[in-house]
Structure 1
Amino acid sequence: MITALLIGVVLFILGLSLHLGMLRLAKRVSPPGRAPRGARLVGGSLIVLVSHLAVAALFALGFAFAASLGLGGFAKEPSMAWMDYYYFSLITVTTVGLGNIYPTQHLRVITGIASLTGFLLISCTAQYVYQTMSKQEE
C-alpha cells in the first residue's frame, strides 16, 4: 500500500503542477481582468480543457504503471487497454465515477487520490472561469 500511496502522491504533485501551469497560460491568453471576447475566450477555455485531459492521461499512465507492478487491477472483462485506463481516469478525475470499471486492491488508493486531485483542479478552474466571466457582466 505504501507504493500505491507514493505513486498517488507523485501523480498528485505532477497533476497539480501541470494544471497550475496551464491555468497561468490560460490567464495570459484570456486575462480575468479584461472582458472575454472571441478568440481569447475560446483560447483560454481550450487550454483549460487540454489541462484536464492531460491530467487524466497522467493518472491513466499511473494506473497502468501501478497495475504492471502488481498493485491491483480493474474489475472489467477481459483486460484493460489504454483507452480503458484513460476512460477510468477521466471519470475518476472528473469525480463522475460511473462504476462500470472499478479498481481492486491497492489501486483503490490511487483512485482516491485521483478523485481528490480532480476536485481540487475543478475548483481552481471554476475560480478562473468565474473571474473571467464576471468581467463580461460589467
Structure 2
Amino acid sequence: MTREEMDAKIAATEARMEATEHRIDAALARLEAGSSAAFAEINTTLRHLPTSSTLYATVGGAVVAGILAVIAVLSFGGDRFDGGVQLTSASVQAATDAQALSKQNAQQIELLTGRINDVLKALAPRQEPPPPTGP
C-alpha cells in the first residue's frame, strides 16, 4: 500500500468520523432542547405544589382534627352512658320506693279491714231482728 492510498483511507476515515461526530452533536442538541423543555415543565409543575412546611402543617392539622373527633365521640358516648346509668339508678330507686309504699298501703288496708270487721262485730248484737211477718 502506498502512502497516497494510506492518506486517502485516513482522510476517508476522518470524514466518516466527522460525519458521525456531527450526527452525535445534532442528537445531543435535540436531547438537550427536549430535556430543557421537560425541566421547564417540571419546574412549572413544582411551583404549584405546596412546600414541605405546608404539607407538615396540613398533615398535623388533619391528625389533630382526627384526635379531637375521637375525643368528642368518646365524651358524648360517655355522657350518654352516664346518663343511662343515672336513669337506671333513679328507676331502681323509684321501684324500691314504690314497693315500700305498696307494702305500707297493704298493711294499712289490712289494719283498716280488721277495724271495720271489729266495728261490724260490735254492731251485730245491737241490731234488732226484724219483726216477724205472717201467721
The TM tier, using the shorter chain, reads under 0.3
Higher helix share: 2
CA radius of gyration, larger in: 2
> TM-score, normalized by length of structure 2?
0.27
> TM-score, normalized by length of structure 1?
0.26
Between 1 and 2, higher relative CO (CA 8 Å, sep ≥ 6) is seen in: 1
